[in-house]
Structure 1
Amino acid sequence: MLKAVILIGGPQKGTRFRPLSFEVPKPLFPVAGVPMIQHHIEACAQVPGMQEILLIGFYQPDEALTRFLEAAQQEFNLPIRYLQEFVPLGTGGGLYHFRDQILAGGPEAFFVLNADVCSDFPLTAMLDSYRHQPHPFLLLGTTANRTQSLNYGCIVENPQTHEVLHYVEKPSTFVSDIINCGIYLFSPEALKPLRDVFQRNQQDGQLEDSSGLWPGAGTIRLEQDVFSALAGQGQIYVHLTDGIWSQIKSAGSALYASRLYLGQYQLTHPERLAKHTPGGPRIRGNVYIHPTAKVAPSAVKGLDSGFSKAPRAYGICSSPQLGPNVSIGEGVTVGEGVRLRESIVLHGATLQEHTCVLHTIVGWGSTVGRWARVEGTPNDPNPNDPRAHMDSESLFKDGKLLPAITILGCRVRIPAEVLILNSIVLPHKELSRSFTNQIIL
């Protein structure tokens, strides 16, 4: 039997995900139409022999999380439980703290997945590799260019055996172009080195000085405390993948992950992709539309708002044009003539007639007025570099807000005929004019 553990972190993290994380725990943020961690759960549920999925983190188990877990258990017919840490325990501390629950039933091995990654999750291939040559730790790795590799955990492998010979988390100089994807397969024996770190932390705690800076014995960092220490000892191996992968650290990377998952739907969930229908909107590329969303029907009309008597010969197309790479959430309303591209529109939002929304996340219950334009600047990986990944985004440079995607927080109201460009609008704001390159508090 097999198990899976998804590390979901907690509310003190995800600062780069604000203001979206104000409304929902980051792991439940919709990416390509479903909560972020549903992609993980779907992948785990497809692995033969999977018996249980555990979520570990220090979020309070609120109504949204409870409702999601209940729905996921019914959909995937698997026990899915949330184990709450009493304090943040790091990437490895929760695994050791809840070791009895993880090992209950005697699993052959267990997957460990960071919640904030986007991937096609080659879990079955990892399992085949593990069964061919069992070892305590198997890491999923991919390649990055030399510059970007400095932002990740870097792996030096034996190219013949794929043993990890050296591991450095975010090195200051180039170490390797193989990076850690945050997706692992551990044997039960993998918990023994975590125990050793815990015991060493306990001893260090006895020497705690009066400053009180000691974080506690339970805090274990998989990357620094385990992988770096055990590399080259025949315990850690890497499985390389050339499939899709990206971190989801910010709203911009969530938009990029949505694009990757929508592309994957062609193979994995074609039923989730909108198709051309008579009288329906114009669909370009990969688009997800929630069944409850209301999208204006296709038509050709004359101009209105002062030109209502203009002849049909004007040929103004009032069909919404959606895509590519658009996700439209539950209860969203999309009016006539809307142009929507490279964007996520969240639950209950309204895009009124002839709005243009590009490279934007529209928050829950927000309204974009008629003929308004809301646009961001994408920070996509270099398409000419197959090893390029999303760059770590910084909001500011030299005291100025960097151009990036536009984010409308929850229940924001954008008036008619204004431009919102490369801006972040915090929740519950009603704007009265145009803004460019600003954070609107």
Structure 2
Amino acid sequence: MLKAVILIGGPQKGTRFRPLSFEVPKPLFPVAGVPMLQHHIEACSKLPNMKEILLIGFYQPNEELNRFLTCAQQDFKISIRYLQEYAALGTGGGMYHFRDQILSGGPEAFFIMNADVCSEFPLPEMLDFQKEHGDAYSFVILGTTVLHYVEKPGTFVSDIINCGIYLFTPEIFQHIGAVFQKNQQDLLLYSFEGDEQSNGWHRAEVIRLEQDIFTALAGQGKLFVYKTNRFWSQIKSAGLVPQKHHDISD
């Protein structure tokens, strides 16, 4: 059984889409005639063993998002739920906060996808690649060869392009949990009171896959990369959307 998690961020993450994002949340911005998220959901729904798609973010529930989820469930005949973070927890922190919901039902593996990417989504190929090259304790990134993982290096280190699409097994939560526990231990070295204490525990939950998790896994031989030459692009601003319309249409 498979699941998928789409990380949709929140309003403060969509500032490059303003003023358009004041009316429409960035993940629902139309690309090739349909909401950005619909491309992700359609790709996931085509996998035979896909049972549930979870959206994680810190948008307040709103009419546009609720309407989209209702229509998407009907159109693609799959369970889709939105899990709201109490604050921005990072790409790994949101996953860890909702780990029980992700692991409910016992999925063998699950995809993690950033909402702001356009891609042909080679998900079946990533599954086959994981079975051929990895095991239950390894994880797959869509991109190019990992020589040494550095997120957005200031100087050239390798030819990595992280496409923001990942395939994990449940064991990933052991690695995220270890970072969470370390963050907690670090906070115990400081004394907080009142709001400072609350903010301190929030900081313990902020975990970034790219910087906090992948860097260590690459050195342990547990991180594999499925290399693709198929279409992929990140949508960083509203000005790029017309080009993505054209790219997807082609």
> Which TM-score tier does this pair reach, normalised by the shorter chain?
over 0.9
Within 5 A, what are the aligned runs for 1:30-179?
Answer: 30-132=30-132, 133-134=134-135, 135-142=137-144, 156-157=146-147, 166-179=148-161
Deviations 1:383-409 (A, max 9, x none): xxxxxxxxxxxxxxxxxxxxxxxxxxx
Aligned 8 A contact 2:29 2:35 in 1 = yes
Q: 1:258 to 1:209 in 2, by over 3 A?
A: farther
3-state SS of the aligned residue for 2:66?
Answer: helix
> 1:199 is matched by which residue type in structure 2?
Q
3-state SS of the aligned residue for 2:6?
Answer: strand
Structure with the higher helix share, 1 or 2 = 2
TM-score (norm 1): 0.53
Aligned-residue CA RMSD (Å): 1.6
Show structure 2 runs of 5+ residues with no match: none
User: Which residue of the partner structure matches residue 236 of structure 2?
Assistant: 249
> 1:12 is matched by which residue type in structure 2?
Q
Deviation at 1:19, TM superposition (A): 1.2
3-state SS of the aligned residue for 2:163?
Answer: strand
Task: Say how many residue pairs are matched.
Answer: 243
User: Which residue of the partner structure matches residue 170 of structure 2?
Assistant: 188
> 1:139 is matched by which residue type in structure 2?
I
Deviation at 1:18, TM superposition (A): 1.1
RCO (CA 8 Å, sep 6+): is it higher in 1 or 2? 2
> 1:38 is matched by which residue type in structure 2?
Q
> 1:227 is matched by which residue type in structure 2?
F
3-state SS of the aligned residue for 1:188?
Answer: coil
3-state SS of the aligned residue for 1:70?
Answer: helix
Residues of 2 paired with 1:88 and 1:207: CA distance?
Answer: 24
Residues of 1 paired with 2:172 and 2:158: CA distance?
Answer: 24
Aligned 8 A contact 2:57 2:94 in 1 = yes
Residues of 2 paired with 1:14 and 1:255: CA distance?
Answer: 17
> 2:140 is matched by which residue type in structure 1?
L
Deviation at 1:136, TM superposition (A): 2.8
3-state SS of the aligned residue for 1:255?
Answer: helix
Deviation at 1:253, TM superposition (A): 2.0
Deviations 1:182-241 (A, max 9, x none): 000000101110000111111122224679585521111000000012212021110000
Residues of 2 paired with 1:56 and 1:118: CA distance?
Answer: 18
Residues of 2 paired with 1:115 and 1:228: CA distance?
Answer: 22
> 2:186 is matched by which residue type in structure 1?
D
3-state SS of the aligned residue for 2:204?
Answer: coil
Larger Rg belongs to:
1
Structure with the higher strand share, 1 or 2 = 1
User: Which residue of the partner structure matches residue 10 of structure 2?
Assistant: 10
3-state SS of the aligned residue for 2:47?
Answer: coil
Deviation at 1:59, TM superposition (A): 0.3
Aligned 8 A contact 2:149 2:215 in 1 = yes
3-state SS of the aligned residue for 1:172?
Answer: coil
TM-score (norm 2): 0.93
User: Which residue of the partner structure matches residue 208 of structure 2?
Assistant: 221
